[in-house]
Structure 1
Amino acid sequence: MKNNYGTKKPERQELGRVSDRISFIYVEHARINRQDSAIQVVDYRGIINIPVALVSVLLLGPGVDVTHRAMELMGDSSLAVVWVGECGVRQYAHGRSLNHSSRLLEAQAKLVSNRRSRLATARQMYEMRFPNEDFSNLTMEELRGKEGSRVRRIYREQSKLTGVSWNKREYKVDNFEDGTPINKALTAAHQALYGLSYSVIVALGASPGLGFIHTGHDLAFVYDFADLYKAKYSIPIAFKMTAKYGNHDIATHTRIAMRDEFKKGKLLAKMVKDLKSLLLKDSTADIESPQVIMSLWDDREGLQKFGVQYHEAQS
């Protein structure tokens, strides 16, 4: 076997932009090694090499062993790695941001730390779900009420469209298999959407924990962001897969359908644009430049040059 210990670390300009990457890959009961600039997945079916610079998020399910060298490559390539439970129920960790600038993070922190700007951003997120409606004077309570009504309506519509019986959403964290087929499909679909949302947020340098609607959790903003796309992706796909497969391996079928729909709908590119619009109020801003800019903050003089040896001021 070729010795990979001398493999060169990838340069940032060699890495794929977030919007151009594959959405996610799910792996379970396999061993993951490193082969040059690819991760090598070995299971009972054989061996496959996956270029990490082209993947957005890697979901690691039960029975996965990962080598240190493989994890090093994933970190260098800014591949978000998420350990998930059986059938993809939970998520735990991510790698370093692809975008090494703190511009998006600083903008997010500024918006969420001011009551007025936080409310304005939350309203903007609701307006993205209700085109052509004016939410400028609604309170958060009123916004939550409208969103609740919208989601309940979508569930009823999908139930009628697919013939899948619907009562209520039940998420059993500790017993996935005990849920109804539609609830298991919804859990798998939402988890895939959370994983992709999580990946885009951290890859662009924002914080998954600084939410505008959800708060107090390290994934608060992930839930905020993913909610923008549930009506178009995870909810209808969960109902379609349940209607087609019933309870037969429903989580796997749902994940595959979500992955295909992400690609078909070019969701990654849309997420990148939407995130820039929310936090920078500019969907066209280029924040993935390979150039890394670092400055020193000064309370009086503004930003100062980094890497300069400063001397004590003379009185």
Structure 2
Amino acid sequence: MREIPGTRPADLPDLVRAEDRMSFIYLERCAIHRDANAITATDERGTVHIPAASLGALLLGPGTRVTHQAMMLLADGGSTAVWVGERGVRYYAHGRSLARSARLLEAQANAVSNQSSRLRIAREMYAMRFPGEDTSGLTMQQLRGREGARVRSLYREHAEANGIEWKRRQYDAQDFASGDPINQALSAAHTCLYGIVHAVIVALGCAPGLGFVHTGHVRSFVYDVADLYKADITIPIAFEIAARGSEDIGAETRRAVRDAVHGGSILSRCAKDIRNLLLPSEPEEADYGDVLQLWDGGDRSVVAGTNYDEDVPW
């Protein structure tokens, strides 16, 4: 049989695990290509090499041109390419991941389709934001109320600590520059976090659109998971950057988020949290390799790739 042309995909054990990778790299106004096992970004200043297998998400901003070979390398390495708008504050599309098992996806779909399990996971997500508080008996309305009060308190606390006048969270997704400096910084910081979380979700084989708290959007689960880390990462960074009076809030905020999450185990933390929420009884090192079966009715499955003609009475 003739071999399929092109570079053979890497074997799963040879790839860097999603939680061990760099978080994200944002590129704009450059040509993106491939050199061996590295992604290259070229502009008038020269060429930078980025190891593809150690990259979680590549955020492609305005003015980027990417080659077919570069996308092949990202796909084979299990990295996610995300097309974003100016300063990374709008999401347009993303590439595929290397996920080969539907175990987490099926667990997510089952949980979100049942009201009791959906409420249980939503409560667990809120409990992760309210350390030491019992959320087991709270309704969604009560949980939202507590979260709203918590976020308002966080905003006031960081505003006072950084000497910033805080009014309210207000932004226009169509016009980044229309917001005041702190709202611009919050938007830029949150977008970086969404890119990181989106990369982990897709890499694990989950569905970004099947949320437990958020609903109706293609990134509902991304927003669910990202909300777990805003108080620790993006909100403090945004207020610190806004207090400096930077001329380019978006760029400086992205760099600050990148520096904060680099080596800070956010990818590992995110992957672990998702697994614990969806499959709490499975070991952390569970095998998520190739599995392909046929549904046999009820809870039963049989091996795929087999002719069952003789086993079925006509």
Under TM normalisation by the shorter chain, which class is it? over 0.9
Q: May I ask how many residue pairs the two structures share in their alignment?
A: 309
Deviation at 1:136, TM superposition (A): 1.1
Deviation at 1:172, TM superposition (A): 1.0
Deviation at 1:10, TM superposition (A): 2.2
Q: Distance in 2 between matches of 1:310 and 1:20?
A: 42
Letter matched to residue 81 of structure 1? A
In structure 1, the partner of 2:103 is 103
CA RMSD of aligned residues (A): 1.6
Preserved contact between residue 16 and residue 54 of structure 2 (Cα < 8 Å): yes
With 21-30 and 257-266 compared, the bigger mean Cα shift is at: 257-266
Deviation string, structure 1 residues 160-205 (Cα, Å, up to 9, x no partner): 1111211011111111112111111000000000111111111001
| 138 and 201 in structure 1: CA distance in 2 versus 1, 3 angstrom threshold | same
Where do 1:117-156 residues align within 5 Å?
A: 117-156=117-156
Preserved contact between residue 204 and residue 287 of structure 1 (Cα < 8 Å): no
In structure 2, the partner of 1:112 is 112
In structure 1, the partner of 2:277 is 278
Q: Distance in 2 between matches of 1:99 and 1:71?
A: 16
Letter matched to residue 267 of structure 2? L
Deviation at 1:231, TM superposition (A): 0.4
Where do 1:12-161 residues align within 5 Å?
A: 12-161=12-161
Q: Distance in 2 between matches of 1:283 and 1:298?
A: 24
In structure 2, the partner of 1:310 is 308
Q: Distance in 2 between matches of 1:208 and 1:128?
A: 20
Deviation string, structure 1 residues 256-300 (Cα, Å, up to 9, x no partner): 1101111242111111111111111247433564x3121111016
Consecutive aligned runs of 4 or more in structure 1 exceeding 4 Å deviation: none
With 149-158 and 161-170 compared, the bigger mean Cα shift is at: 161-170
Preserved contact between residue 75 and residue 98 of structure 2 (Cα < 8 Å): no
Q: Distance in 1 between matches of 2:81 and 2:302?
A: 35
In structure 1, the partner of 2:261 is 262
Preserved contact between residue 24 and residue 259 of structure 1 (Cα < 8 Å): yes
Q: Distance in 1 between matches of 2:224 and 2:158?
A: 22
Secondary structure of the 1:128 match is helix
Preserved contact between residue 275 and residue 283 of structure 1 (Cα < 8 Å): no
In structure 2, the partner of 1:295 is 293
Q: Distance in 1 between matches of 2:69 and 2:286?
A: 29
Where do 1:230-269 residues align within 5 Å?
A: 230-244=230-244, 246-269=245-268
Question: Which stretches in structure 2 are left out of the alignment for 5+ residues?
Answer: none
Q: Distance in 1 between matches of 2:282 and 2:253?
A: 30
Preserved contact between residue 185 and residue 239 of structure 2 (Cα < 8 Å): yes
Deviation string, structure 1 residues 68-91 (Cα, Å, up to 9, x no partner): 111122122221111111111111
Question: Which stretches in structure 1 are left out of the alignment for 5+ residues?
Answer: none
In structure 2, the partner of 1:164 is 164
| TM-score normalized by the length of structure 2 | 0.94
**% identical equivalent positions:** 51
